Amino acid sequence: MSNFTKKQVADLVKGSLDWDTLHMMLSMPKDKERYANYMSVLQDQVSWDDKIIMAFGPHLFLAETSADKSLVTKCSCGHDFGDYRTNWKLNALVYVRDDEEKMSQVYPTLMAPDTSWQVYREYYCPSCGVMHDIEAPTPWYPVIHDFQPDIPALFDWLDLPVPVNA
């Protein structure tokens, strides 16, 4: 098992890690310190103190609040999307591209889907406006709950104490 430094993990997150190291990371089992290093790199990127437990996206995290240890979905700006078991998208701003004109803003003519079959739903942070996700379902489809992590199982693998509210 190889050990990687926090700097290497930070480069991985930034996308600037050299291929040889990246190849080694991909090919070998994860080192024990990886989770702690990864979380600490993410923590350095945000200005708030709630403890990051997992990344959902480049700007979206699962965090344990310092106030009451509840597990919430949070934007990098600090916006709180509520309990991680409910779909954070329900508390986001949404923009739906559901006609030809809106599609033509992002795709050349004739290269976008027919909006009676497929629409794009873009989800934004109500506080800072960063785009967190886009889904491309049929128009009638409910808002998709991407995934709900099994936190106790994760911490069991990591061999770390499970957060109290998981």
Q: How many C-beta neighbours within 10 Å does residue 67 have?
A: 8
Nearest residue to 93 via CA among 106, 110, 75, 107:
75
The distance of closest approach from Cβ of residue 155 to other proteins in the complex, given in angstroms and rounded to an integer, is 16
Interaction site with other proteins (CB under 8 A): 1-2, 19, 23-24, 26-30, 32
Q: Is residue 90 within 8 Å of residue 83, measured between CB atoms? A: no
17's CB contacts (< 8 A; 6+ apart) are 8, 11, 25
Q: Which is nearer to other proteins, 7 or 85 (CB)?
A: 7
Measured from the CB atom, is 31 or 80 closer to other proteins?
A: 31
Closer to other proteins by Cβ: residue 32 or 85: 32
CB of 17 to other proteins, least distance (A): 13
Q: Which is nearer to other proteins, 30 or 51 (CB)?
A: 30
C-alpha 36/C-alpha 159 separation (Å) is 12
Residue closest to 96 by CA, chosen among 79, 70, 115: 115
Closest distance between other proteins and the C-beta of residue 4, in Å?
12
Give the whole-angstrom CA distance, residue 94 versus residue 88: 12
Closest contact distance (angstroms) between CB of 24 and other proteins is: 7
Instruction: Provide the minimum distance between the beta carbon of 1 and other proteins in the complex, in angstroms, as a whole number.
Output: 5
Nearer Cβ to other proteins, position 26 or 67?
26
